[in-house]
Structure 1
Amino acid sequence: MTRPRRPAFRGHTTRRTRARTTTAALAVGALLALALSTPSQAEPLATQAAAPTDYCVGQCADILPPGQNGNATFTDLLLFKGFGTRPPHFSDTVKPYERLVWNSQGMTDDGLDPYYDDSSFGVKPGDVASTYSPRPDVTIVRDKSRGIPHITGTTREGTMFGAGYAGAQDRLFVMDVFRHLGRGQLTPFAGGAAANRAFEQEFWRTAPYTEADLQRQFDNADELYGADGLKMQKDIQAWVDGVNYYINTVGIAYPGEYVALGLPTPQPWKVTDVVATAAVVAGIFGTGGGGEMASALALLEAQAKYGVAQGTKVWESFRSQNDPEAPTTVHNGTTFPYGTTSANPAGRAMPDRGSVTPEPEVVDQTGSATTATVAPKSSTGIKPPNKTQSKESLHGIFNGGVFPEGFGPKGMSNALMVSGRYTESGNPVAVYGPQTGYFAPQLLLRQELQGPGVSSRGIAFAGLNFYTLIGHGADYSWSATSAGQDITDTYAVPLCEPDGSTPTKASTYYVFRGQCLPIEKLERHNAWYSSLGSSEPAGSYTLVAQRTKLGIVTHRGTVGGKPVLFTSNRSTYGNEAGSALGFMQLNDPDRIHSAADFKSAASNIGYTFNWFYTDKTDIAYFNSGDNPVRPDGADPNLPTWGYPQYEWQGWNPDTNRATYTPVAQHPQVVNQDYLTSWNNKQAPGFSAADGNFGYNSVYRSQPLDDRIKSVISSGQKFTRGKLVEAMESAATVDLRGDEVLPYLLRVLKSAPITDPAVADAVAKLQAWQAAGSHRKTPNEASKTYDHAEAIRILDAWWPLLVPAEFQGLGPDLYNALVRTQKIDERPSAQGSAFQNGWWGFVQRDLRKVLGDPVKTAQPVTFCGGGSLAACRSVLSDSLLAATRVPATTTYPATADCAAGDQFCADQIVHQPMGGITQDRMAWVNRPTYQQVVEFPARRGDDVSNLALGKTATASSAETGWFNSPPPNAVDGNPTTRWASNWSDPQWLKVDLGSEQSIRRVVLNWEAAYATAYRVEVSRDNVNWQQVFATSNGDGGEDVARFGATPARYVRVTGTQRATSYGYSLYELQVFRQ
């Protein structure tokens, strides 16, 4: 007889596993690509180490688009450009990530499978793609499902070596981009595209270093952190060795982008490359403050408009330093004062109005460097195949730069966590992750690390994957959002002349602690040339940073008529590498056993992040950052005199280290009812950083809060699926429509609307707002939003509404405030949206007009001068004007989108950081990498398979040539199976030997699986209780979960076969957890 063919492998994407199909490759091209893209590796190993116990027991999942693979050979690039053929694992998580947009409503735990990958420790036997060892003390297993490396070392050094090797396999070119950017040398490496120049210059302003500066950070680690510092140094060196081993053994299969850009083969890695990369991450995602100058200029304009006293109050109302209406992560009544203004800020150094000029950082421009650094709106999507493998198909692939326009220092990411008090299982549930933008390949990579003192699975930035930065351990998980609290201050530093003559703004000496010192000049000469990949004409310039003891010079001006430098000093400047200590501890299972341990580890991270933690019983939050202790008289909002009495407490100018606020003063909480963060205010009293004017009555975290509170107040309980539903629902919300539009409509409807165009617009806006204010199509095939016309109206109205409502500010003050806080951040190709805007200012002003309660002091009501009728007229006139704005103006044409194409204008673009691009995705405001986590157990709990080796019986069993008796299903061997007769119903039963409390049954089906079956339990083998049933079985691995139930016998009864054959199970497993 013919048996059903056993699949070659089953893709273990999450709890339920399905067979995958593959497509035929182009015959000649695929063979050539394989020959050039397979790296030289150590001899493959036949076996792999057993995975350590994972107490998530199948309830940890994650997703990261577009795919794990990020290295393509030159031949791979040609194949893609010629035929649209991407190498394996370049784009296999795009669709699962995107399709959640249309499939989250009513989400259950079982329904998560198509949209998230199982992130359990280890690799299931059928999912092993390759096993190899770059050196004897480390083994790397790649899974078939996603190509993720699972790195296991018998020594710590071997584990780190393997991480470096695997990281280079997956992201070598991206790593090279980072190490060059961290030195201010992006353009010589990736070309002189306008976007590359703009981002290079922006980052140089943030973190200019010499090579000696970078080396010093690494060398000082053991002196600063003792044994842990020495361990960090050894870890990093071993990781560097792994990267270099890959570079030295890869042969000609290195990334094709090097060839396209006319670069030599990858150069050896150094420990200073790690420090330079850390500086990039700290500068983009882990910093805050430094906006005192823009804030001061806005205050000057407010005082010029309204007078000193009234102008200061107006400025304070926009400043939103501690707005009582701002949503906070800590909401249990605890306050955490930080960054508050002294009652008498004697050290405040306000610039003279009109005296301030920015310090130039670019000089000696030649060639294309003399053109403006504005990124072109280039195409980034996949193009139709041109049926050629000519090098010309790669022409100009980096003309748009490797970073998108506007990408730079900002805070992103979100988190939703619910205490076990409000979950069905009684265990906490978390859905969280970093929102780092969308790139091809991604800036992040997934990995598993196992070795002495390290046990983790999750993600890391390319170039920093010696530790897992966000992920989970054996029985705990952690994540982060950018916090952005104030760790950067601006000082007014008097200028001087060494000969004692009168200084001017152009002087090159400054006063520090009574001495007249020369300004240190840091220079980086960059030159670039046209290449196949970047057709930007040749050019060059010199980047210049003026450095003082009190930081980098950003402006010059006068204070009280005296010439000064304005410098910016960040507490983590020169100390970025030290945060590795906290990440090292988070990866160490011997360090982390509780929420208290988590907070202790997170406190060693100097970057400004909000950290979140969950285990079997607890949820916790902790805000990290090297928060300097400021003396009385210093003003955290505005420039402060650079005098000794206003320096940070304990500050050492040689190391830039200082006294930082104690751990207890950082915002934190354990087991609050729920936790949310979307880069919002951390806690009451914790001041918004000087450049952050956005912590007020409207913030994008509110849709998260609203959905969680709605479920809790209804008496329902959360599951992982229900929390994912809440997250994804908020991810398509237009914040303006959700939080501001109701007040706009109230004002407009405060009297009869007589203009037909306005009435029609109001009706459309009202219908959209009532439907939830989502920017979402009805299904995946549609390219037209529901309520598309209402969305178009609001998109056109907002840029007209804000200046009309606030015209009373006058142009000078209005423009100065816009420079501190842009008026809008609607959806765009970058994905992340609605973080910075005037939504709270508009809403609060309208509430004052309407007579609603307003907790925040606002001395002036702007809309219509406070008159409801006049305000209504302002809104009506601006709305009418918006209805007349063509869609082609609201959504201008780009290289990829036709003018007026609303859906395309919103779509997410995976910014190319390599030659293989990705298709656009539907817009969603969601973490780039996201975990879904629920731990039912912890170390010490029994999570063993209770059915293993126990007595199994069945209604029937296949004999003869394909002998498949019942004991095969409980022998722990994934290659043996029980098979029944070819009829319905059939059952398989296991006797656990004694009564146990059980909560989970796992079934691993062969190709002959059940579409309908039930799971029953019994204490006496006579009376049976059904605990699970389904009629939608799809084979692979099924997990049946139910409440804790006492049982000695477990029976699985199949009632409907998926094939004409019998039922066939590789394993029947039973668990307490």
Structure 2
Amino acid sequence: MQRRIRTLRLQAAAALAGLLTATALAAAPATAATPAPAPDYCGNRCHDILPPGENGNATLADILANRLLGTRPAHTDDQLGPYAALANSYPGLTDAGLRSFFNDASFGVPAGQVASTLQPRPDVTIVRDKATGVPHVTGTTRYGTEYGAGYAAAQDRLWLMDLFRHVGRGQLSSFAGGAADNRALEQSFWQAAPYTEAELQQQIDTLAASGPRAAQAMADAGAYLDGINAYIDTAYSSRTFPGEYDLTGHIDPLTNAGSIDHFRLTDLVALASVVGALFGAGGGGEVQSAQVKLAAEARYGKAEGDRVWASFREADDPEAVTTLHDGQRFPYAQPPADPQGTAMPDPGSVVPEKLVYDATGTGATTAATAAKGVLPGNLLTARHGMSNALVVSGRYAADGHPVAVFGPQTGYFAPQLLMLEELQGPGISARGAAFAGLSFYVQLGRGQDYAWSATSAGQDITDSYAVPLCTTDGSPATLASDSYLWHGRCTPMERLERKDSWKPTTADSTGAGSYTLVMKRTRYGLVTSRGTVGGTPVAFTALRSTYRHEADSIVGFQMLNDPAAVHSAATFQEAAQHINYTFNWFYADAVDTAYYNSGDNPVRADGVDPGLPVLAEPQYEWRGYDPDANTAEYTPPAQHPQSVNQDYYISWNNKQADAFTTAGFGNGSVHRADLLDDRVRALLGSGAKVTRSALVRAMESAALADLRGEDVLPDLLRVIRSGAVTDPALAGAVQKLETWRADGTLRRETSAGSHRYADADAVRIMDAWWPLLVQAEFRAGLGDPLFTALTGALQLNESPSGGQTGPVSGSVSANESIPHKGSAFQYGWWSYVDKDLRTVLGDPVAGGLGGPYCGGGDLARCRSVLLESLRQAAAQPAAQVYPADDVCSAGDQWCADTIVQRPLGGVTDGKVSWQNRPTYQQVVQFTSHR
């Protein structure tokens, strides 16, 4: 029997591989009195959804049953079907039909819909509804409310919470095995946010002393941890804990020997650092930008090269779609006319900083080391374009009340990174989504008479400094020197280490290994690479304004959950000002809409270009910079993009406002957000009042649109149709593309469940054509070095299937080759192609590129270039365009696009048709206001 269980454990483990110490609190006297129901002003017009399902806890028996019999625990995937079905049903959607595709997000649970009631303490009750299993936590004391939030979080996400507290510390492999993905993931997070345990605690101590709201937040977090740890103890003794602990060897399935470590406040800071790194940071690509600039100067000479570099950078492109469009200007991080203190690396001198030391066993090719990990290895390093929002003012909406359809696009996992909850207690009244392990407040959701959501903003809060290297003994510095000049004094770098070792997760003992992760830190930030500037050895650093302040946003989230703190558009904006991460925040109540861009935006020295490395000298530091606390002077709230009651707002990680400079490359005339802006603008222009279902239809139409087809294909066809297409094969391909354009250039099934796209050949042709046409259009004019440098700064393509990268060296970024991820069309050369073709066609172009590239600017030659690349694309069979992977067979176009719920535990869920849509999504329209 013991051998059989061990065999099952190893089999399941192999499948999985494919797949505050609590603050001492004096709690208020417990009471079982029933509180009055919270006021709900939504009038049954609040809805939400979060696939695949609320339940993320599976025992060992549940996991084995899923593997052997295909069964799943209740509420594991019950939100996946409605979410997926919208793709085929949205054209006829009505307000009455919204409940078929979204949950009822009203407060409370009707008596007939109560599935279970639990009181882990007398002063808190956790009610779960029959439809979704969402926890509705009601406390008569604040301590009890937060205790219940923690207990419910552990019930639903304990394993995931445990994974991420180890990810945040760079210790995932020792916890979940040394698979390649696990190692890659912990390495990337250790690079972004390495801390000692003392530094994690220091963040807590500093925050707790910063004011009464922060002190209350720490007390809330302590109560939350008490609830988590109480569940751990109960689940351990009753063997109802997640079965992943058995399968990874933390607990013996026969004897129950082993343990689940209690959670501490420092774990919450580690978890917050993961969320902040994933969704709330921006900037940091300055060294790469400098390398593009150097390549442009080598190609064209300094003056012309700088002009070309700036044109492709598109830092403040006049044709870019903006969230604020009423003429508002919010200057930030603009490139100066006469840059000062720029530190350009010598060509070819930059080398990445060594991270892994003393590795043993990591080169083994066993199943344990070669298999996928419990989390994607490129979860952080892949570029993230997440979340969207559509908000319409009440003057354009049915019944005169604002309408909002919004939510974060956090990827697709089983279980989800987010969880749903309702929290009701003294000073807390909200329902919505929160990141697992940080759910003592709802982070995106609704209050009594308002709703809020966010999209990742990504404005530049990270700068690269070129720090001169030196030696403390006075010998000549080299690239290997580990001391640097700080205000003229040679100072040793701090060495932050994290030792991690792992045991095999299968019977193959050669899967064991260990290494030490090392990050070196200066007073100008973390060392990311080294090189020379004017022959002088330097370390290039990353200085992020939110580093050492991972938990500071807690006060803003507390206010968003507090009905006394947020009761208007203005008070919503005040709450958002307390969030230091880079997010775009949206708000709607029964009367007003609002927007605010949050983040600790450092005030830079005059003349510094934030898009390039900066000399590490006092005159070029952030104003008021204190390296010991990592604080500086930040732009005041009035200078952050913001608005109240604009006619409508859209956001899909696009430019916020005129003069608010974007980080990175390619935010220009064609952007994913155009898909939303065009549809909402058309809704308002139609004269019809906007309903909830109309706004959902606009969102879902954009979710199925191919951005290249909608906004770039018309330019391509104009060039091609400037002459007769006489070749029958080419003429057929052009006709298919034109038919697809007339059909709306959607990637949509012919009918529900057909697993075949309408206009399938046109979709295949576009998928094959895009990387070929970009190369044909630009490579000759730019030259190989500059073209390669630009593709390193901005990938060519981000198609739904993630498989069409083209034969271009250096063009494949970390997320361009990720299949089945849902999110698409955020990063690519769409704007470059559009501007270039319009230039060749003789159209007016604001903020054009450095010059015409397609055919050297000659229309006939450009047409010939495009036709030849189209000929190559049309000839590619489906099996080449959509290669086989571990989910799909070669040539299966629909399957190649499908969204897979990436397993983060032992239970797997089915794939669904592609939609470019928020993962958690709200549809709200409040009917009255306090």
Partners of 1:47 and 1:131 within 8 A in 2: no
Task: Tell me how far 1:694 sits from its aligned partner.
Answer: 2.2
**What residue number does 2:245 align with?**
258
What are the Cα deviations for residues 594-647 of structure 1, in whole angstroms up to 9, with x where unaligned?
Answer: 100000000100000000000011111100000000011322010001111111
**What residue number does 1:888 align with?**
879
Matched ranges for 1:495-574 at <5 A: 495-532=469-506, 537-574=511-548
Task: Tell me how far 1:664 sits from its aligned partner.
Answer: 0.5
Task: Tell me how far 1:530 sits from its aligned partner.
Answer: 1.6
The secondary structure found in structure 2 opposite 1:920 is: coil
**What residue number does 1:591 align with?**
565
**What residue number does 1:147 align with?**
133
The 3 A distance-change label for structure 1 pair 534 and 627 is farther
In 1, Cα distance between equivalents of 2:726 and 2:56 = 58
Matched ranges for 1:85-96 at <5 A: 85-96=71-82
The 3 A distance-change label for structure 1 pair 766 and 48 is farther
Partners of 1:140 and 1:150 within 8 A in 2: yes
In 1, Cα distance between equivalents of 2:693 and 2:635 = 39
**What residue number does 1:811 align with?**
784
- Which one has a larger percent helix, Structure 1 or Structure 2? 2
The 3 A distance-change label for structure 1 pair 397 and 311 is closer
Task: Tell me how far 1:657 sits from its aligned partner.
Answer: 1.1
The 3 A distance-change label for structure 1 pair 928 and 536 is farther
What are the Cα deviations for residues 773-819 of structure 1, in whole angstroms up to 9, with x where unaligned?
Answer: 10010222201100000000111111111111002111111111011
Partners of 2:324 and 2:643 within 8 A in 1: yes
Letter in structure 1 aligned against 2:212: A
Matched ranges for 1:196-345 at <5 A: 196-223=182-209, 225-250=210-235, 251=237, 252-264=239-251, 265-345=259-339
Higher Rg? 1
**What residue number does 2:715 align with?**
743
**What residue number does 2:752 align with?**
780
In 2, Cα distance between equivalents of 1:510 and 1:369 = 33
Matched, 1:138 2:111: no
Letter in structure 1 aligned against 2:827: N
Alignment partner of 1:699 out of 653, 663, 671: 671
Letter in structure 2 aligned against 1:294: Q
In 2, Cα distance between equivalents of 1:416 and 1:801 = 33
Task: Tell me how far 1:397 sits from its aligned partner.
Answer: 13
What are the Cα deviations for residues 82-130 of structure 1, in whole angstroms up to 9, with x where unaligned?
Answer: 1111000001011000000011113211011110111111110001111
**What residue number does 1:712 align with?**
684
**What residue number does 1:758 align with?**
730
Matched, 1:359 2:333: no
Matched, 1:916 2:907: yes
Letter in structure 2 aligned against 1:755: D
What are the Cα deviations for residues 843-868 of structure 1, in whole angstroms up to 9, with x where unaligned?
Answer: 11000000011001423110000000
Matched ranges for 1:108-147 at <5 A: 108-147=94-133
Partners of 1:519 and 1:546 within 8 A in 2: yes
Alignment partner of 2:44 out of 21, 40, 58: 58
The secondary structure found in structure 2 opposite 1:220 is: helix
What are the Cα deviations for residues 216-236 of structure 1, in whole angstroms up to 9, with x where unaligned?
Answer: 11111122x211111111111
- Note the aligned Cα RMSD (angstroms): 1.7
What are the Cα deviations for residues 143-182 of structure 1, in whole angstroms up to 9, with x where unaligned?
Answer: 1111111111111111111111100000000001110000
What are the Cα deviations for residues 365-388 of structure 1, in whole angstroms up to 9, with x where unaligned?
Answer: 22134679xxxxxxxxxxxxxxxx
- Structure 1: unaligned runs, 5 residues or longer: 1-44, 373-394, 940-1073
What are the Cα deviations for residues 899-930 of structure 1, in whole angstroms up to 9, with x where unaligned?
Answer: 11111000000000010000001000000000
The 3 A distance-change label for structure 1 pair 171 and 564 is same
The 3 A distance-change label for structure 1 pair 535 and 751 is farther
**What residue number does 1:171 align with?**
157
Letter in structure 2 aligned against 1:116: F
The 3 A distance-change label for structure 1 pair 431 and 770 is same
The 3 A distance-change label for structure 1 pair 612 and 398 is farther
Letter in structure 1 aligned against 2:786: L
Partners of 1:285 and 1:411 within 8 A in 2: no
Matched ranges for 1:944-959 at <5 A: none
Task: Tell me how far 1:344 sits from its aligned partner.
Answer: 2.4
In 1, Cα distance between equivalents of 2:516 and 2:376 = 23
**What residue number does 2:92 align with?**
106
**Higher relative contact order (CA closer than 8 Å, sequence separation 6+):** 2
Matched, 1:456 2:430: yes
Partners of 1:582 and 1:604 within 8 A in 2: yes
In 2, Cα distance between equivalents of 1:869 and 1:470 = 52
Query: Which stretch shifts more, 113-122 or 519-528?
Result: 519-528
- Structure 2: unaligned runs, 5 residues or longer: 1-30, 252-258, 802-819
In 2, Cα distance between equivalents of 1:402 and 1:694 = 33
The 3 A distance-change label for structure 1 pair 800 and 143 is same
In 2, Cα distance between equivalents of 1:920 and 1:710 = 33
> What is the TM-score normalised by the length of structure 1?
0.80
Task: Tell me how far 1:695 sits from its aligned partner.
Answer: 1.0
Partners of 2:182 and 2:377 within 8 A in 1: no
In 2, Cα distance between equivalents of 1:518 and 1:647 = 20
**What residue number does 2:399 align with?**
425
Task: Tell me how far 1:534 sits from its aligned partner.
Answer: 10
Letter in structure 2 aligned against 1:253: T
The secondary structure found in structure 1 opposite 2:331 is: coil
Partners of 2:178 and 2:368 within 8 A in 1: no
Task: Tell me how far 1:550 sits from its aligned partner.
Answer: 0.8
The secondary structure found in structure 1 opposite 2:465 is: strand
In 2, Cα distance between equivalents of 1:46 and 1:355 = 68
**What residue number does 2:701 align with?**
729
Task: Tell me how far 1:712 sits from its aligned partner.
Answer: 1.4
Matched, 1:898 2:889: yes
In 2, Cα distance between equivalents of 1:533 and 1:915 = 18
Aligned positions, number: 871
Alignment partner of 2:831 out of 836, 840, 844: 840
The 3 A distance-change label for structure 1 pair 534 and 915 is farther
In 2, Cα distance between equivalents of 1:843 and 1:370 = 47
Matched, 1:800 2:786: no
Partners of 1:193 and 1:401 within 8 A in 2: yes
Task: Tell me how far 1:653 sits from its aligned partner.
Answer: 0.6
**What residue number does 1:9 align with?**
none
In 1, Cα distance between equivalents of 2:748 and 2:850 = 39
Partners of 1:175 and 1:463 within 8 A in 2: yes
**What residue number does 1:645 align with?**
619
In 1, Cα distance between equivalents of 2:321 and 2:485 = 43
What are the Cα deviations for residues 528-562 of structure 1, in whole angstroms up to 9, with x where unaligned?
Answer: 12225999922222111011111100111111111
Partners of 1:348 and 1:641 within 8 A in 2: yes
The secondary structure found in structure 2 opposite 1:577 is: coil
In 1, Cα distance between equivalents of 2:795 and 2:601 = 26
Task: Tell me how far 1:188 sits from its aligned partner.
Answer: 1.2
The 3 A distance-change label for structure 1 pair 536 and 321 is farther
Letter in structure 2 aligned against 1:852: D
